[in-house]
Amino acid sequence: MVSADAILTARRQFFSSGTVSGNLIPRPILRSWSRCAAQGLRGAAAPRIEPLTAPEITAATEPMESFRRFCRPEIEALHADAEATDSIVILTDARGVVLDTVGSSTFARQAARVTLRPGMPWDEAATGTNAIGTALAERAPIAVRGAEHYFECNRILTCSAAPIFGPRGEVVGVLDLSGPADKHQDYALGLVRLAAEQIEHRLFERGFEHCERIRLHHDPAMLGTAREGVLVFEDGRLIAANRHGLHLAGLTAEAFDRASWSEIFRDRLGAFADGGQLRHRGGALLHGRLEEARSKPRSVPAPPPLRQARPGRSPDIRPVFGPRTAEDLARTVRLIDADVPVLVTGETGSGKEVFARAAHAGSSRAARPFVAVNCAALPESLMESELFGYEAGAFTGARARGQRGMLREAEGGMLFLDEIGDMPLPLQTRLLRVLQEREVVPLGNGRPVAVDFALVCATNRNLNRLVEEGAFRADLYFRIAPYTVAMQPLSALPDRAGLIVHLWDQMGGPARGIALGPDCLARLAAHNWPGNYRQLVGCLRAMLALGETGCMLGAEALPLDLRDARPREPAARAAATDSLDGIARQAMREAVEAAGGNVTLAAKRLGINRSTLYRRLLSPSDRRH
C-alpha cells in the first residue's frame, strides 16, 4: 500500500511537470491521471457536473431498474460491512451513472456533497480519477485512496470498485464501496471483487436454458462457487462465458461465436458429461459438470384459473421413445390431472426429465410452472432452504427478502424431484409432511403456507431396496409411487436408426447440409449407448459441430470409442445383420419406416440418392428378378 506522503509527492510532481518519478503511485492511477489531463481537466477545480432534476434522475436510472433489483442481494450483503466502517455501497450502470446507494447515513450525507448519489455520473470524463470511473476505463478492480483522486474535492473519499461483466464479456455495471479517506479499508477491494463475481455467476442462471452450460475448474472444490468457470455453447460454438471460464479456457471475449468445442478441448462433449473431467487443448485437466440444453421455451398465454384449465396437448414422443412410452405418457397425464403422484424409473440419461416435461405439457397444468429439482446436485446444507424456502434473517447469509423455495415456485404447476433416492432422511420427513398436509413451513417462520402442485419423482436407484436398507422412508415411498413408469434404455429401442435420423433432423443437420452416411448411421444404430439418450445427443451434437457444410459424414467422423467399439446387439438382430453391409441395410430399412414408407424422404434424410437407397435395400435375389 502506497503511503500518503508518497501520493502527495507524486501529485505535486504530476501537476507541476506531468510526470512522476519511480513507483510513487500504482501504474493504473498514473494512467488515469494522464487520461484526465489529456481531457483538459484541472485537479484544483471542481467537477463540472450540473445537478440533475428529479425527472432526469428517473430517466437515467429507470431503464436499469431490473438490473438494480438483480444486484440487490450482493448490495445487501455488503451493507453490514459498509455500516461497520461508516461507508456506503454504490451500484452504477456501464456508464458510471449511480443507480443505488446503501450504507452509512452519516457518510452518505458527506458523499452527496461530492455528487455521490443516484443519477450522477462517475466516469473519468465527469469526475476524474475515481474507483468507479477508473475501474470502467481499466476494465479491472481498483482502489483509489484519498489524494489518488484527480479532483481535490474528492480527496475525502477512499473507494474500491470492481466492474461487473455480462455473459458476453461486456461491462454491465460497477460495484463500489466508498468511505472516509481517514479510515483504512484494506479488505474492501476483496469484498467488492467477490460480490461482483457472485453477480456475474448468477447472470448465467437464466437465459441459456437452450444451450449447453459447462461449469469447470482445476480444483473440484471450487465447483458451485462464484470462482468456477462457466462456458456456454450453442450448436458447438462458444457464445458466452464468465471471466473465470475464459481464463481457464485460455480465451478472450473475441472467441465468442468463433471458437468451437473441439478447438478448446481435447475431449468430446459426451465424455465430459459422463466422466466429469476433460483436458484443455493445452493439456490442463479440468473438473466440472455439464448442464444440458433444454428446448427453447415456448410463449404461453396468461393461464386461466387452475380448476378451469383445459388439458394441454402432449408432444409426440413416439419418434424418440417408441409407442410403449407414449402409452405410459398418456396414462401419466391422466394421473397428473387426477392429482396422483407418479414415479419415473430408468437408467441415467434415459430421458426421465424429458418424459416429465412432456407429461406437464399435456396436462391441465401446462400453463403453470414446471420446476425441476435434482436432489443429487443440491448440497445437503442448502437443500432444505432451496426446497422449502426461508424468511428474511432466517440464517447467516440469507437474502434480505427471504426466498420462496422451489415447492412454492411450483404453485399450480408441476414439481419434478429428480434423483429422489438421494434425498437425506431428515428432508424425506419434511417432504412427507408437505405432501400430507399440502402446506409448507419456510425456515424462520412458524406460519404454514398452502401449496398446490402435481408431483412427479424420478430415480435410477432401486427404492424398494433402499426402503429395506432403511435409507428411504417406506411411508414416503408409498406416497410418491402409487404409479410407476419404467423408461426403456436406449439399447432396448428397436428402431435406433429411425431415432437417430429424427434427432439429426431436429438438430438441424439437413438444414446445414450435413448428412449421416450409411456406414456412419449403421455404426451409430449398432452401438449399445450405455449413457442412453444423453450420450447419444452429446455425440450427435459434437459431430454436427465438427461437420462441414455439404459433406456426408462417414465412419471416420465418429468419436474414437464408437469407431473402435464392436457392436453389441441382441442375438436376433445380430444374426440378421452379421456384417457391416447388413447393418447398413438394416439402418436404411429403419429410416424408410421412420419416414412412413416415403423412400424419397428417407433418402434425403440419409443424404443419399433415391436410386442408391433402392439398390442397397434390394437383396441379391431381388436384383436377379
**Residue 257 CB burial class (10 angstroms; 0-12, 13-18, ≥19):** exposed
More reliable by pLDDT, 318 or 496: 496
pTM beyond 0.75: no
Looking at residues 503-527, what average pLDDT do you find?
Answer: 83
Q: What percent of the chain has pLDDT over 70?
A: 75
Looking at residues 339-367, what average pLDDT do you find?
Answer: 88
Predicted pLDDT of residue 170: 92
Q: Decide if 260 contacts 541 (C-beta within 8 A).
A: no
DSSP characters over 512-571: GT-EE-HHHHHHHHHS--TTHHHHHHHHHHHHHHHPPTT-EE-GGGS-HHHHHPPP---H
Q: Of 250, 228, 232, 251, which is closest to residue 241 (Cα–Cα)? A: 232
Which CATH number does the domain 4-202 belong to among 3.40.190.10, 3.30.450.40, 3.60.15.10, 3.40.250.10? 3.30.450.40
Q: Of 454, 573, 483, 492, which is closest to residue 324 (Cα–Cα)? A: 492
Predicted pLDDT of residue 63: 74
CA 343 → CA 332, 354, 477, 483, distances in Å? 10, 14, 9, 6
pLDDT in tens, 240-281: 999 999 999 889 988 998 898 888 888 776 656 555 778 888
Instruction: Enter the C-alpha cell of residue 528.
Output: 449399445
Looking at residues 522-538, what average pLDDT do you find?
Answer: 84
Q: Which CATH architecture has domain 328-486?
A: 3-Layer(aba) Sandwich (3.40)
How many separate helices (H) and strands (E) can be counted in the chain? 28, 19
What are the sequence ranges of the domains in the chain? Answer: 4-202, 212-291, 328-486, 491-624
Please determine, for residue 400, whether its predicted confidence score (pLDDT) is greater than 50.
no
Predicted pLDDT of residue 107: 67
DSSP characters over 67-107: HHHHHHHHHHHHHHHHHHTT-EEEEEETT-BEEEEEE-HHH
425 Cβ neighbours under 8 A, 6+ residues apart: 471, 472, 473
- Alpha-helix runs per DSSP H in 338-370: 352-362
More reliable by pLDDT, 147 or 319: 147
* Three-class secondary structure of residue 193 per DSSP: helix
Least confident span in 230-239, 316-325, 598-607: 316-325
- Longest Cα pair distance anywhere in the chain, in angstroms? 103
Q: Of 512, 517, 490, 488, which is closest to residue 501 (Cα–Cα)? A: 517
Looking at residues 142-158, what average pLDDT do you find?
Answer: 91
Least confident span in 17-31, 99-113, 350-364: 99-113
Q: How many Å apart are CA 493 and CA 536, to the nearest integer?
A: 13
User: Helices 65-84 and 188-202 sit at what angle, rounded to 10 degrees?
Assistant: 150
**Winning range, highest mean pLDDT, from 73-82, 379-388, 616-625:** 73-82
Least confident span in 228-242, 305-319, 465-479: 305-319
Predicted pLDDT of residue 80: 67
Predicted pLDDT of residue 567: 47
Looking at residues 321-344, what average pLDDT do you find?
Answer: 84
Predicted pLDDT of residue 565: 54
Q: How many Å apart are CA 38 and CA 278, to the nearest integer?
A: 49
